[in-house]
Amino acid sequence: MNGLIGKKIPTFCLLDDQGNTITQKDFVGHWTVLYAYPKDSTPGCTTEACDFRDNWNRVKALGAQVYGISKDNQKSHQNFITKQALPFNLLSDPDKSLLTPLGSFGKKIMYGKEVEGIIRSTFLVDPKGVIRHAWPKVSVKGHVEDVLKILKDLQAEGVS
């Protein structure tokens, strides 16, 4: 996953919760936080989504946009967004066409067993579509604060 740092985000074409087609071109022109999460409306995923929601004004103040991505379908995403009042869009990747090249899908340990699934991870993409930072195997607590700190640091360094 860290081998992606400094490379363009992979080419993709996915639908968001509203049925809009989103591609890597939608990341150009502003900073983008793309976070991969296992499943809508589960405890850890809800906590993470709500943390991004609760820090939305800080994210926007830094000129960034947020997208969540999971294998869940459009209807599931719509319900999750409505229930949690999320101010950002969620991407549906049922075929793992972006999750896999990002290293966000694969083997992981869950409840002591090895399973295959979405690996909670986050990517910070610059306005040119280049991945500038990656968080593999995210721990939810304090994660959004760390994303905001790295975003501020990169902007202060003049990375764009």
Question: Is residue 1 packed enough to be buried (19+ CB in 10 Å), middle (13-18) or exposed (0-12)?
Answer: middle
Helices (H) and strands (E) in the chain, counts: 4, 9
What percent helix, strand, coil does the chain show, rounded to 5? 30, 30, 40
3-state secondary structure 89-116: EEEECCCCCCCCCCCCEEEEEECCEEEE
Annotated active-site residue 50? The verdict is no
| Alpha helices per DSSP H over the chain | 43-54, 56-61, 74-84, 143-156
The residue from 45, 59, 90, 147 that is catalytic is: 45
- Locate tokens 């966000």: which residue? 104
Cα–Cα dist 55/36, whole Å: 18
Where in the sequence numbering do the catalytic residues fall?
Answer: 45
